[in-house]
């Protein structure tokens, strides 16, 4: 069953004028990207900085509107929903971010941050916060602490706990393990796999590291400067990359 | 605990002195500051009148204390009023963006082009000179200043991942502004408020000097200064005392604001 | 050339480096691998004589036969840049945004060698050509923001090379760069080291880039060097439980990803977290997370042994 369907997604950003008259130059962040994610499946998006992968995440999360194309979540076009309707739908798709130091409000306790999505949907907090913390390998008592009391890996666990607390169907992860040490990264990747099996989560997993994407993804999309170079079955691309650029990313991720 | 910057300490001392004087005047002054005693005019400093008396025999110390209270009250009310309106406008501009942001910022630009004193004179011409009109005028010039500072800091916070996470959670603009933006820009606003406090004290003194602020017999540093002006050759000390008070208060709040900024701005700490 | 003998660094919270012994000869390429909190960056700052003030040092550090353990700032200054130079992780913040990069690189040339403006400019162009910056004269007139991340890092390498250092310390030089660019920068460092006979210490958490560019490697954990030896030997046949765990935790794009039941294969992990400085064990620092742990591991201080230096009492050393 298709959970998310993106068609012809295109987004340009205006650049500062270089001449007084004439058209304003623009940066193509993403050009004509189409993909689908089925329930419980993971799509990996690989590319380097400037490839448009973060723009893709913001479009899927409906943080900004595309210049062309559409994103349909569960059959509903995200970018044509009214604001209240979109807010009601938000608990169904959540996001985890790259920087574990920036994704938690430093002035709020962990419990407060975890409760935010619940309060937004008007749900009862109950013991969900404690459950969610335990689910990501932390302790219920951690809810009263502040983010600075945790290591990077632990903070990323907290961010994941917040993302799954509303029992979403889709998780968007933008470079979610890139800032972590190798051994911590493996722990978090395993946690994501556990949660995916437990909750039947679909994932849009964005990374610059082929090795990480390989460990987690069913399908793959390779981006370069806003263009889709190749996409399809992950194993097929990893075993026989069609594009030189994909090959070079694989080399860079190679084993020591 | 790291050492506090010197400007912060000096500012704190001056400010507590002035605030202390103002607070004390609520319960006690050496003499009734408005009581006339013509026989005792232009008295030299003595045990009864510590800094002497003015041309109507009023006690200078008592008047200065009342002037401090007047300055503090005017600055507090004006900065609170202008500041809160400005902060709300700035939060709206940053939160909603688009044409709202453009409108707020262009209005701010417009009011920057409009001198505050001119606005106060206009208010005085329409409604008659009074202290409350002076307060409104000073509050008004504070609105665009706070709107700008708030919008700039708020826009930075809006790009943080934890704000994105709150949006992803389905939080609305108002709730995010209240829960995440405001607490995280509070330091910047407090710093700005402290600096604007100094500006407001100066503005009040200027307006009262011009006769557009505190009206006789209310005591005000600015009014004391203007009364002493005509007697510059006869009794220069009468101009010097309120002048020194204005300098001390403005300098105090200015230094305190700079010091607070040094403490709260990590970029400056690194360079120090 | 540089010799560390049982160098230890202690903070109020605990000891951050314990008995580090290392030799760096001219032309050596040494990798230092470790995760956050392993002490690898602290070790680098000790090599530059820039250990934080709060730290207490013991042991000896010899540079060119001179004991520098107690050397003051005055003694260190001429050594920095000329003998030991360093490049950092974030190339943008290491460059003054208001100065043309050519002027930045020319400054030490004029200061240390007394070159004239024209001579310095000529030398800058040579250096830029040496670090493979295309069109060196034009690049020299640019500001940092006009360059890409990789180019900025090349400018910093040129700056480090300006005084012909005998040793270049690169602290996570490619972490902020894209994978392809990172490879090029790493290769450039190796190339420069070979051509100039310059020793290179590459500090990294990235095993792949260390494997690609160094001859010897030291693996650090919790302020100890837990394993040290030839890069190929250590990375292909790791012996210390930590090194093994670290290598296994890297996902392999070529490996089979699902087991027979069609479930995704989990990555092997090292259980637990790196403890804070104050919570490190007295004995083996890896105690508490180690699969091979014996009862006395947490209390008995392990002794380095084996032809390949190994800091584990459980594992027999091998070459």
Give C30's contacts (C-beta < 8 A, 6+ positions apart): C22, C24, C199, C200, C201, C202, C214, C215, C216, C217, C218
Q: Is the pLDDT of residue B112 over 90?
A: no
Strand partners, A170: A93, A202
Residue closest to C32 by CA, chosen among C219, C188, C214:
C219
In a domain, A169, yes or no: yes
Give A-chain residues touching C41 at CB under 8 angstroms. none
Q: Is the pLDDT of residue B269 over 60?
A: no
What is the arithmetic mean of pLDDT over B39-44? 78
Of the options 3.30.420.40, 3.40.50.620, 1.10.3720.10, 3.40.50.300, the CATH number for the domain spanning B59-266: 1.10.3720.10
Angle, helices C101-113 vs C117-130, to 10°: value is: 120
Among candidate residues C163, C179, C204, the one where a domain is terminated: C163
Interface test with C, best of A177, A180, A186 (most C CBs within 10 A): A186
As a whole number of angstroms, the distance between CA B212 and CA B123 comes to 9
pLDDT tens column, A176-222? 988 888 889 999 999 999 999 999 999 999 998 888 888 889 999 99
Give A-chain residues touching B168 at CB under 8 angstroms. 61, 63, 90, 93-95, 117, 163
* C209 and C307 belong to one structural domain: yes
**Tell me, what's the pLDDT at B7?**
87
Reported as a pLDDT band with limits 50, 70 and 90, residue B270 is: very low
**Number of domains observed in the structure of chain A:** 1
Give A-chain residues touching B175 at CB under 8 angstroms. 120
**CA A254 to the chain's CA centroid:** 24
**Chains in contact with C via at least 3 Cβ–Cβ pairs below 8 Å:** A
The token pair that represents B69 in the structure block: 């209270």
Cβ contact, residue pair A102, B160, below 8 Å: yes
Cβ contact, residue pair B161, A162, below 8 Å: no
What sign has the CA pseudo-torsion C202, C203, C206, C211?
Answer: positive
**Tell me, what's the pLDDT at C55?**
85
As a whole number of angstroms, the distance between CA A246 and CA A222 comes to 7
The widest CA-to-CA distance across chain B, in whole angstroms, is 76
- Lowest mean pLDDT across A75-89, B193-207, B211-225, C113-127: B211-225
Give A-chain residues touching C245 at CB under 8 angstroms. 183
Beta strand C2-11 with C14-24 is: antiparallel
Q: Is the pLDDT of residue C187 over 80?
A: yes
Q: How many CA atoms lie within 13 A of B215 on its CB side?
A: 9
As a whole number of angstroms, the distance between CA C191 and CA C205 comes to 21
Contact criterion met (CB below 8 Å) for C97 and C104:
no
Angle, helices B131-158 vs B182-209, to 10°: value is: 150
Q: How many helices and strands in chain A, by DSSP H and E?
A: 9, 10
Cβ contact, residue pair A103, B169, below 8 Å: no
In terms of phi and psi (left: phi > 0; alpha: psi -120 to 50; beta: otherwise), the region of C222 is left
Cβ contact, residue pair A102, B161, below 8 Å: yes
Q: Which residue has the higher pLDDT, C181 or A17?
A: C181
Picking from A153, A208, A256, the nearest residue to C273 by CB comes out as A153
Q: C64: domain range?
A: 1-83+165-319
Min CA distance, A175 vs chain C (Å)? 13
Number of A/C CB contacts below 8 angstroms equals 96
pLDDT tens column, B181-199? 999 999 889 999 998 999 8
The token pair that represents A220 in the structure block: 């793959």
Strand partners, A2: A38
**Tell me, what's the pLDDT at B1?**
46
Cβ contact, residue pair C251, A152, below 8 Å: no
Picking from B160, B169, B184, the nearest residue to A120 by CB comes out as B169
In a domain, C304, yes or no: yes
What sign has the CA pseudo-torsion C246, C251, C256, C260?
Answer: positive
CB atoms within 10 A of CB A19: 8
Give A-chain residues touching C252 at CB under 8 angstroms. 211, 214, 255
* C65 and C30 belong to one structural domain: yes
Mean pLDDT for chain C overall: 87
In a domain, C18, yes or no: yes
Beta strand A2-14 with A68-73 is: antiparallel
Contact criterion met (CB below 8 Å) for A43 and A22:
no
- H/E segment holding residue A15: none
pLDDT tens column, A221-236? 999 989 999 999 988 8
As a whole number of angstroms, the distance between CA C86 and CA C167 comes to 8
Strand partners, C78: none
**Number of domains observed in the structure of chain C:** 2
Interface test with A, best of B158, B163, B169 (most A CBs within 10 A): B169
pLDDT tens column, B142-182? 999 999 999 999 999 998 999 999 998 888 899 999 999 99
As a whole number of angstroms, the distance between CA C205 and CA C175 comes to 9
In terms of phi and psi (left: phi > 0; alpha: psi -120 to 50; beta: otherwise), the region of C172 is left
In a domain, C277, yes or no: yes
Question: Among all residues of chain B, which has the CA nearest to that of A97?
Answer: B161
Contact criterion met (CB below 8 Å) for B186 and B83:
no
pLDDT tens column, C15-50? 889 989 989 999 899 999 988 888 888 898 888 888
Q: Is B1 exposed, middle or buried (0-12, 13-18, 19+ CB in 10 A)?
A: exposed
Spell out which chain C residues touch chain A, with contact meaning CB-CB distance below 8 angstroms: 35-36, 149, 178-180, 182-183, 205, 207-208, 210-212, 235, 245-247, 249-254, 257, 263-264, 266-270, 273-274
Give the residue carrying structure tokens 């959670």: B169
In a domain, A94, yes or no: yes
Give B-chain residues touching A65 at CB under 8 angstroms. none
Angle, helices B237-264 vs B60-96, to 10°: value is: 30
Min CA distance, C86 vs chain A (Å)? 23
Give me the residue spans of the domains in chain B. 59-266
Cβ contact, residue pair A91, B170, below 8 Å: yes
In terms of phi and psi (left: phi > 0; alpha: psi -120 to 50; beta: otherwise), the region of A13 is beta
Cβ contact, residue pair C179, A209, below 8 Å: yes
What is the arithmetic mean of pLDDT over C200-228? 91
Integer angstrom CA distances of residue B45 from B48, B64, B220: 8, 14, 20
Q: In terms of residues, how long is chain C?
A: 319
Min CA distance, B85 vs chain A (Å)? 24
Cβ contact, residue pair A256, C207, below 8 Å: yes
Dihedral, B56, B58, B64, B70 alpha carbons, nearest 10 = -80
The token pair that represents B269 in the structure block: 């700490």
- H/E segment holding residue C170: strand C167-171
* C136 and C240 belong to one structural domain: no
In a domain, A47, yes or no: yes
Interface test with C, best of A51, A178, A182 (most C CBs within 10 A): A182
Min CA distance, A142 vs chain C (Å)? 16
The token pair that represents C83 in the structure block: 């003998």
Q: B206 φ, ψ to 5°? A: -65, -45
pLDDT tens column, C137-171? 999 999 998 888 889 999 999 999 998 899 999 99
Task: Assign C294 to helix, strand or coil.
Answer: coil
Q: How many CA atoms lie within 13 A of C10 on its CB side?
A: 8
Which range, B18-22, B39-43, B264-268, is most confident? B18-22
Beta strand C66-67 with C56-63 is: antiparallel
Residue closest to C154 by CA, chosen among C229, C213, C104:
C104
In a domain, C309, yes or no: yes
Residue closest to B231 by CA, chosen among B6, B42, B97, B1:
B42
Q: A149: domain range?
A: 2-15+25-252
Q: Is the pLDDT of residue B272 over 50?
A: no
Min CA distance, C251 vs chain A (Å)? 5
pLDDT tens column, A95-116? 999 888 889 998 899 999 999 9
pLDDT tens column, C222-259? 899 999 999 999 999 999 999 999 988 888 777 766 77
Q: Does A181 touch chain C (CB under 8 A)?
A: yes
Give the residue carrying structure tokens 């439980």: C241
The widest CA-to-CA distance across chain C, in whole angstroms, is 72
Contact criterion met (CB below 8 Å) for B156 and B241:
no
In a domain, C274, yes or no: yes
What is the arithmetic mean of pLDDT over B232-257? 89
Q: Does A238 touch chain C (CB under 8 A)?
A: yes
Question: Among all residues of chain A, which has the CA nearest to that of B171?
Answer: A120
As a whole number of angstroms, the distance between CA C238 and CA C260 comes to 29
Q: Does A233 touch chain C (CB under 8 A)?
A: no
> Helix H segments across A93-151?
110-120, 128-135
Q: Is the pLDDT of residue C318 over 60?
A: no
Give the residue carrying structure tokens 């992968």: A53
What is the arithmetic mean of pLDDT over A244-256? 79
The token pair that represents C206 in the structure block: 């990235």
Number of A/B CB contacts below 8 angstroms equals 67
Give C-chain residues touching A248 at CB under 8 angstroms. 180
Beta strand A76-77 with A68-73 is: antiparallel
Contact criterion met (CB below 8 Å) for A117 and A127:
no
Among candidate residues C111, C138, C163, the one where a domain is terminated: C163
Reported as a pLDDT band with limits 50, 70 and 90, residue C92 is: confident
In a domain, C89, yes or no: no
CB atoms within 10 A of CB C110: 15
Interface test with C, best of A181, A197, A208, A225 (most C CBs within 10 A): A181
**Tell me, what's the pLDDT at B271?**
38
pLDDT tens column, A141-182? 999 999 988 888 899 999 999 999 999 999 999 999 888 888
Mean pLDDT for chain B overall: 86
Among candidate residues C144, C163, C182, the one where a domain is terminated: C163
Interface test with A, best of C264, C268, C276, C286 (most A CBs within 10 A): C264
As a whole number of angstroms, the distance between CA C243 and CA C308 comes to 13
Task: Assign B232 to helix, strand or coil.
Answer: coil
Write down the ipTM of this complex: 0.84
In a domain, C201, yes or no: yes
In a domain, C144, yes or no: yes
Q: Does A216 touch chain C (CB under 8 A)?
A: yes
In a domain, A20, yes or no: no
**Tell me, what's the pLDDT at B47?**
76
* CATH label of the domain that carries residue C199: 3.40.50.300
pLDDT tens column, C101-114? 999 999 888 888 88
* CATH label of the domain that carries residue A105: 3.40.50.300
Q: Does B161 touch chain A (CB under 8 A)?
A: yes
Integer angstrom CA distances of residue A137 from A159, C99, C309: 12, 49, 35
Give B-chain residues touching A105 at CB under 8 angstroms. 162, 179-180, 183-184
pLDDT tens column, C270-283? 888 888 888 888 88
**Tell me, what's the pLDDT at B265?**
63
As a whole number of angstroms, the distance between CA B204 and CA B213 comes to 7
pLDDT tens column, A18-69? 777 777 778 889 999 999 999 999 999 998 888 888 899 999 999 989 999 9
The token pair that represents B200 in the structure block: 């407001």
Min CA distance, A184 vs chain C (Å)? 8
């Amino acid at each position: 069953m298709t959970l998310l369907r993106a068609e012809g997604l295109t987004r340009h950003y205006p650049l500062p004028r270089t001449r007084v008259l004439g058209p304003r130059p623009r940066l193509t962040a993403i050009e004509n990207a189409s993909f689908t994610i089925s329930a419980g499946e993971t799509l990996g998006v690989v590319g380097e900085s400037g490839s448009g992968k973060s723009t893709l995440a913001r479009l899927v999360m409906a943080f900004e509107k595309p210049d062309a194309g559409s994103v349909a979540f569960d059959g509903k076009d995200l970018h044509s929903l009214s604001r209240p309707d979109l807010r009601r739908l938000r608990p169904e798709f959540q996001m985890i971010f790259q920087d574990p130091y920036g994704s938690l409000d430093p002035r709020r306790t962990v419990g407060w941050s975890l409760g935010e999505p619940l309060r937004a949907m008007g749900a009862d907090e109950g013991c969900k916060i404690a459950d969610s913390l335990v689910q990501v390998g932390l302790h219920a008592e951690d809810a009263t602490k502040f983010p600075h009391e945790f290591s990077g890996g632990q903070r990323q666990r907290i961010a994941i706990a917040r993302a799954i607390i509303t029992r979403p169907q889709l998780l968007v992860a933008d470079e979610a393990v890139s800032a972590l040490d190798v051994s911590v990264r493996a722990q978090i990747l395993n946690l994501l796999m556990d949660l995916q099996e437990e909750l039947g989560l679909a994932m849009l997993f964005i990374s610059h590291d082929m090795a990480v994407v390989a460990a987690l993804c069913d399908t793959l999309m390779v981006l370069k400067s806003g263009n889709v170079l190749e996409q399809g079955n992950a194993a097929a691309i990893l075993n026989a990359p069609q594009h030189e650029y994909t090959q070079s990313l694989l080399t860079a991720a190679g084993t020591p | 605990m790291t050492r506090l910057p010197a400007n912060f300490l000096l500012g704190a001392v001056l400010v507590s002195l002035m605030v202390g004087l103002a607070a004390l005047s609520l319960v006690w002054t050496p003499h009734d500051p408005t009581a006339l005693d013509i026989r005792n005019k232009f008295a030299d400093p003595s045990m009864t009148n510590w800094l002497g008396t003015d041309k109507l025999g009023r006690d200078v110390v008592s008047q200065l204390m009342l002037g401090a209270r007047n300055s503090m009250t005017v600055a507090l009310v004006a900065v609170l009023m202008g500041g809160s309106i400005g902060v709300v406008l700035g939060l709206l501009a940053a939160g909603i963006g688009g044409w709202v942001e453009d409108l707020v910022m262009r209005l701010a630009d417009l009011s920057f082009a409009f001198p505050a004193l001119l606005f106060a004179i206009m208010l005085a011409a329409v409604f008659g000179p009074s202290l409350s009109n002076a307060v409104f005028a000073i509050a008004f010039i504070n609105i665009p200043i706070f709107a700008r500072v708030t919008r700039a800091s708020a826009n930075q916070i809006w790009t943080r991942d934890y704000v994105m996470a709150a949006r992803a959670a389905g939080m609305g603009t108002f709730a995010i502004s209240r829960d995440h933006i405001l607490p995280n820009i509070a330091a910047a606003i407090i710093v700005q408020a402290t600096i604007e406090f100094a500006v407001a004290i100066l503005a009040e003194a200027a307006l009262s000097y011009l006769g557009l602020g505190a009206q006789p017999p209310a005591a005000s540093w600015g009014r004391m200064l203007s009364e002493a002006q005509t007697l510059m050759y006869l009794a220069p000390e009468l101009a010097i005392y309120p002048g020194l008070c204005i300098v001390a208060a403005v300098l105090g709040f200015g230094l305190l604001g700079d010091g607070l900024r040094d403490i709260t701005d990590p970029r400056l700490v690194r360079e120090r | 050339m540089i010799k560390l003998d049982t160098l230890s660094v202690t903070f109020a919270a605990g000891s951050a480096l314990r008995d580090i012994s290392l030799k760096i000869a001219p032309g050596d390429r040494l990798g230092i691998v470790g995760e956050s909190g392993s002490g690898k960056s602290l070790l680098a700052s000790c090599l530059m004589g820039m250990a934080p003030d709060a730290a207490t040092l013991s042991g000896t550090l010899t540079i060119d036969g001179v004991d520098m353990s107690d050397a003051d700032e005055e003694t260190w200054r001429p050594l920095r840049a000329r003998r030991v130079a360093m490049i950092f992780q974030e190339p943008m913040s290491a460059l003054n945004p208001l100065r043309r990069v050519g002027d930045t690189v020319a400054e030490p040339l004029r200061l240390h060698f007394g070159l004239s403006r024209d001579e310095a400019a000529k030398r800058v162009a040579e250096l830029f050509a040496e670090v493979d910056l295309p069109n060196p004269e034009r690049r020299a007139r640019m500001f940092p923001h006009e360059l890409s991340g990789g180019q900025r890092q090349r400018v910093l390498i040129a700056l480090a090379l300006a005084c012909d250092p005998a040793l270049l310390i690169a602290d996570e030089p490619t972490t902020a760069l894209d994978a392809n660019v990172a490879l090029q920068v790493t290769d450039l460092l190796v190339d420069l080291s070979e051509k100039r006979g310059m020793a290179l210490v590459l500090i990294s958490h990235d095993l792949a880039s260390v494997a690609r560019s160094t001859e010897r490697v030291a693996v650090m954990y919790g302020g100890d060097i837990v394993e040290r030896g030839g890069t190929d030997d250590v990375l292909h046949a790791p012996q210390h439980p930590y090194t093994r765990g670290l290598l296994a935790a890297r996902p392999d794009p070529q490996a089979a990803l699902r087991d027979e039941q069609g479930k995704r294969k989990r990555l092997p992990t090292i259980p637990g977290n790196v403890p804070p400085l104050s919570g490190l064990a007295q004995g083996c620092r890896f105690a508490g997370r180690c699969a091979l742990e014996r009862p006395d591991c947490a209390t008995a201080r392990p002794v380095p042994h084996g032809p390949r230096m190994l800091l584990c009492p459980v594992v027999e050393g091998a070459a």
